[in-house]
Structure 1
């Protein structure tokens, strides 16, 4: 029994030490006491406030990726100023980055109102995180959710009918960069359920030269052409490429 517990908690004990890591793992077990979608909190060592997750959803898996496997841990910079978290979901990546880079501006983009509610709650203690209830697209426009029957963390979006009053606002990387006041995006994280095709096939030539590091999750299983779009977009600059968990990481020279 003890051996089983130690093996199960080893992911977090390696990251946070035996005691603090074990306590964090134990808190995650509270998920089993809650109904589907019911929020519960966990305490990450070093975080300013508890992090809220929805029980029996993909939130716990995402939490393990970000705070257990530390999939964003590849990024290291002594002078990061501006980051974009596109497809921020409930804010786990934004919190992780804000903890490491408290002086950097982080624009967190999310299209779903339910996700945004928890995103706002999780990032409230971090004043350098700016929540934008928008989607990332090739340009400023209005979007609609294409699969409203899906869970909020799996929504896909597409262009809204022209003149639609209830469309979701979208923005391009170039517009985000201009509004930020910075000349460079130190980290561009993209996890937008297939919409990376539009972002990369659109006007990427206008902003790709300003990106230092990109971390992108590709969804070829959902929409064919995601990998091809990435390859065409990044081939305009010299770069290195590696994998960190589900993210394809591109570091430009």
Structure 2
């Protein structure tokens, strides 16, 4: 699944958020890795969400919701992609787009009663650059991030966006060619 740097491994993790949870495999991995943590899994695509619910049903520590994350609250539209695993989200109604409830990070955290995130996983198919650049003061409340970058968002832009919040970005080439990038506020 993930080769997570030792600096991010801690049995002390209490709150983990999985944005773009897909069918829940990462949420299950986190539940097994951090059995004391509460894991919140957010997935926008309906079919993926249905599978996610089944996959995480064994764990009382995982809370799944069918919704999207955005820079503002409202509704986004999910359109069918050419590839079954890569969906396009827009804030404008599109011909084949399905409406999905969207949260800003502040609203999502407030709705769940969360004031601190130990570990945040982001795999939201290209929207990560908007999430981390806009309405991003919530990043003060996050300790560690695991993120999959999608073009055109670069690791240098990620560093620039996270630097004001005290994150150190760990280069991707350290992790066996995975597209996952790690950022932490912990000194290593």
Smaller-chain TM-score bracket: 0.7 to 0.9
Residues in 1 aligned to 2:33 and 2:155: alpha-carbon distance in whole angstroms: 30
Contact 1:196–1:226, Cα closer than 8 Å, also in 2 = no
Question: Could you say which residue in structure 2 is the equivalent of 1:219?
Answer: 150
Which is richer in strand? Answer: 2
Give yes or no for contact 2:159–2:169 (8 Å, CA) kept in 1.
no
Provide TM-score, normalisation by structure 2.
0.85
2:109 counterpart SS class? helix
Q: 1:171-198, CA deviations, whole angstroms, 9 ceiling, x for partnerless residues?
A: 1222222223232100110011101122
What TM-score do you get using the length of structure 1 for normalisation?
0.64
| Structure 2 unmatched runs, 5+ | none
Number of matched pairs:
178
Cα RMSD of the aligned pairs, angstroms, is: 2.2
Report the alpha carbon displacement of residue 118 of structure 1 after superposing the two structures with TM. 1.2
When Rg is computed on C-alpha atoms for both structures, the one with the higher figure is 1
State how far apart, in whole Å, the 1-side matches of 2:101 and 2:15 are. 22
Distance verdict in 2 for CA 1:101–1:138, change over 3 Å: same
Instruction: Determine which structure has the larger helix proportion and give its number.
Output: 1
The DSSP-based 3-state class of the residue aligned with 2:129 is helix
* Distance in structure 2 (CA, Å) of the matches to 1:142 and 1:226: 27
> Structure 1 stretches (4+) deviating beyond 6 angstroms?
none
The one of 89, 104, 111 equivalent to 2:22 is 89
Q: State whether structure 2 residue 179 is matched by structure 1 residue 232.
A: no
SS of the aligned residue for 2:145 comes to strand
Q: SS of the counterpart of 1:77?
A: coil
- 1:10 is matched with none
How many angstroms does 1:229 deviate by? 4.6
Aligned residue among 107, 115, 121 for 1:189 = 121
In structure 1, runs of 5+ residues without a counterpart are 1-65
1:133-156 CA distances to partner (integer Å, 9 max, x unpaired)?
11111121211124x143331112
- Find the partner of 2:67 among 127, 130, 134: 134
